[in-house]
Structure 1
Amino acid sequence: METKHKEQVAEFLKSMYAAKKFKKLKPHNNTNNSFDVTLKVSGYSQLNLMVSDLLKASILLLHHDAPSLPSHTVNTDINVMTLLEIALQLLPEEEMELLDELCKIQL
Structure 2
Amino acid sequence: MQLKNKDRTEKLLELMSKRNYFTKLKLEHKEDSSFTIPLKVSSYNELNLIVSDLLKASIVLMNKEARSLAVFHKETDINVLILLEIALQLLPEEEMELLDDLHKVYLDS
TM-score by length of 1: 0.58
Deviation track 1:84-104 (CA, whole Å, cap 9, x = no partner) reads 000000000000000000011
Higher RCO (CA-CA < 8 Å; seq separation 6+): 2
Task: Say how many residue pairs are matched.
Answer: 70
Q: Distance in 2 between matches of 1:100 and 1:40?
A: 26
Q: Distance in 2 between matches of 1:57 and 1:89?
A: 16
User: Is 1:66 matched up with 2:51?
Assistant: no
User: Is 1:39 matched up with 2:49?
Assistant: no
Gaps of 5+ in 1: 1-36
TM-score by length of 2: 0.57
Runs of 4+ in 1 over 3 A off after TM superposition: 73-76
Percent of pairs identical after alignment? Answer: 67
User: Is 1:56 matched up with 2:56?
Assistant: yes
Contact between 2:60 and 2:67, CA under 8 Å: does it hold in 1? no
Letter in 2 for 1:90: L
Higher gyration radius (CA): 1
Letter in 2 for 1:103: H
Gaps of 5+ in 2: 1-36
Contact between 1:41 and 1:47, CA under 8 Å: does it hold in 2? yes
Give the aligned partner of residue 13 of structure 2: none
Query: Superposition RMSD on alpha carbons, in Å?
Result: 1.9
